[in-house]
Structure formats: C-alpha cells, structure tokens
Amino acid sequence: MNIFHLGNGSKVLGLIKAKALEPVKVSQLIDGAMKGMVQELQDPYSVYLEPKDYQALETHMSGTYGGLGIYVGIPKETHRLTVMAPIKGTPAARAGIVAGDEIWEIDGKDVSSIDIDTAVSMMKGEEGTTVTLGIKRKNQEELWDVKLVRENIEIPSVEGRVLEGYPGIAYVSISMFNDLTAQELEETMKSLRQEHEIKGLILDLRNNPGGSLMAAVETGNLFVPEGKPVVWLVDKYSTESFVSKGNLIDLPTVVLINKGSASAAEIVAGAIKDVNAGILVGETSFGKGIVQSVFELDDGAALKITTAKYLTPNKNDIHKKGIVPDVEVLLPEDTDPVAIYSGDPEQDMQLKKALEVLQKELDT
C-alpha cells in the first residue's frame, strides 16, 4: 500500500473537520470511508456492516429474529427485491404476501437501488414495531401498501412430511441454511421414520437462498459417503476439502432445485449430484459459488467480504453458471409462484416429475 495514500486520508479528514461548512461526526466520515473502500471491490456480496447491521446478521443466522417472516432475493432477470417465500404463520403470510411479489418500497423509501442486506435490515426491527411495504404484484398496475407489525420470528429451516397419496415418500424442504439446519434435518427424518416406513426422500431446495457454509457442510455430511469431499474451498492461499464424516440418510433421493437455489443450497445439491447420492430435478440453480467471511471490528461493526470460492466434489466451478439438473422441468411463465409451496403434485409440475423419478428408482 502506498503510504502517501494513507497520509492523504488523514489530511482529508482533518480538512473536513476544520473547513467544511456543515458539521459532521468523525464516526460518520470513518464509516463512509470504510464503505467506499469495500465498494471499490465491485463485489455485490462484500459489504461494510455498521454495528446494528452486524447484529441483525448474527441474529438472522442464529435462527430467530424480529421481522416479517419472508425470504427475499434479487433475481437477475428483474433486479428487483422479490419475495422468494413467506414463512407460514408470520405477519407477511397472514397479510397475503406470496412468492413472486416484488418489494418496491419500504416505509415509503424506494429500494430499487439498495443491496439486499440493507433491505433486509430495514424490514427487521424490534418486536411490536411497524413497517410498511410497497408491493408490486404480477399483472397489477398499482403498488399495494401493506402495513405489518414485526414479530419474533423463529425460522423453521426444515419442514417434513409424508405426501398424501404417496406412502413411504418423505418430502422435506429446507428454506435456508442456519446453525440449526443439519440437526433439524436429522430430527425430522428420525421422526418421519418412527411414524412411517420411509422408502425414499424428496429434498426440496427450491428458492433456498443459502446461508451458512458450515451448515451446508454438516447437511452434506448426511448424504455424502464417509471419506468423500462434500465441497472444496479455494481461497487466496490454499485449497482444502471438507470431508464427510458419514452419510446417515441412506435413501433413494431426489433433490428439487430452481433458479432461486443459491450458495449453500448449491453446495448440498452439487455434493449429492457428484457422489451419485441422488437425482436433481427442476431448473438450473442460481450460480453463487463464492463464500463470504465476516470479520468483527473493534467498535462492533464488521467487514463481510468474499474470501473464497467453492467447488463441488468433482471440482466443478458453478459460479455464474449454476448446477444443471439431471432432469430439467421448466415451469410455464404463468405458473402461480405459490404452487411450489402447495405440496400438491397436480399444481406443482416439478414435484410431480420428482415423484415419478423417485418411483422409478424405487421400482428398479
């Protein structure tokens, strides 16, 4: 680093303090400088987190938070903040918000140009406080303003059941990967096996935006045979593998993915595909094959930057490419986005095909 650049930074700070007409806090200037440095990386996944934003991120990854109960993403086709899935029984779900709804405003502020982390932090807050979302729904001209009261949200990252009319088939969906996911998956499968004679598994990772790397590795452990890599991690200095400690879910498995399956979800899907532990059905996944690390700073702030990329067990780089399913099932454009949460194969073409593929595996 050129030491003169650091000197100029100190000079700029001193000149602003001494000469600027409008008063400004030094802490605000420092925060602005930090954000500017990170922005120069031109990486949408790297961000300087102020203390409140870092605290919100930690709470989110722990599995509980004060908020509305929706998973959001920014699809590359629209570049709009979009509801990927509402969580059952939460303020958003009760208000009628559905997957596919676009959020154009939060408390009257246009959010078309802000990053996803900032948008999420705007929607979170103390339990009992309110937030108003400006929702743009497909085929509707005007924004729908919906006022919601924040609640303490316990994130059910894993939900499982036996589908009606398909005895012996476990259907398990993972909505995101947090610190509790692998344990929840084990407990869900144990419970289902105690109540039913389970012969096969459909693992639904559609619209799963990802989450914790280690949660993905621990989940992958449940499918990948002992001693085989779940994922390869490549950073600036080395390449290392996370090796499975032994697969506990030894069942014929079909994994559902779509363009909303990203990051940690792709780690699990890629591992299952590469070691032939299951068959992938659906659409090509999002293609986020990079890993962010969070470094806590002295004042409670944090720096989240991209520090590595990951490769599937067969060392495939899926970043900006995605994982191509073994059996492609594209949904028509007019498909109701809620259909994939119905659990009804007659409404959900991808689930229907997954059941057909799994049944064929069970019959052989």
119 and 34 together in one domain: no
pLDDT number for residue 3: 46
Same-domain status, 177 and 244? yes
The verdict on residue 349 lying in a domain is yes
Instruction: Judge whether 147 counts as a catalytic residue.
Output: no
Q: What is the CATH number of the domain that holds 102?
A: 2.30.42.10
Residue 274 designated active-site: yes
| Distances 171 to 142, 162, 205, 294 between C-alpha atoms, Å | 37, 6, 11, 34
Q: Among residues 53, 204, 274, 348, which one is catalytic?
A: 274
Of 109, 124, 154, the last residue of a domain is 154
Residue-number span of the structural domain to which 337 is assigned: 158-363
Listed in sequence order, the DSSP H helices in the chain are: 3-19, 26-39, 51-62, 91-94, 116-123, 181-195, 213-221, 264-274, 349-363
Q: What is the CATH number of the domain that holds 292?
A: 3.90.226.10
Structure token pair of residue 344: 């009804």
In this structure, the answer to whether residues 20 and 147 fall within a common structural domain is no
Q: Does 55 reside within a domain?
A: no
Residues 229 and 162 in one domain: yes
Instruction: Please pick, among 157, 173, 175, 263, the residue that the annotation labels catalytic.
Output: 263
pLDDT at site 84: 81
Q: Is 360 a catalytic residue?
A: no
Instruction: Please indicate, yes or no, whether residues 74 and 26 belong to a single structural domain of this protein.
Output: no
**Which of 273, 288, 304, 353 is flagged as catalytic?**
288
- The string of pLDDT tens digits covering residues 184-199 is 999 999 999 999 999 9
Pairing of strands 200-204, 253-257: parallel
Query: Which pLDDT tens digit goes with each residue over 102-157?
Result: 999 999 999 988 888 789 889 988 889 999 999 999 888 899 999 999 998 877 78
| Structural domains counted in the chain | 3
Are both 35 and 141 inside the same structural domain? no
Would the pTM of this model clear 0.85, i.e. be above it?
Answer: no
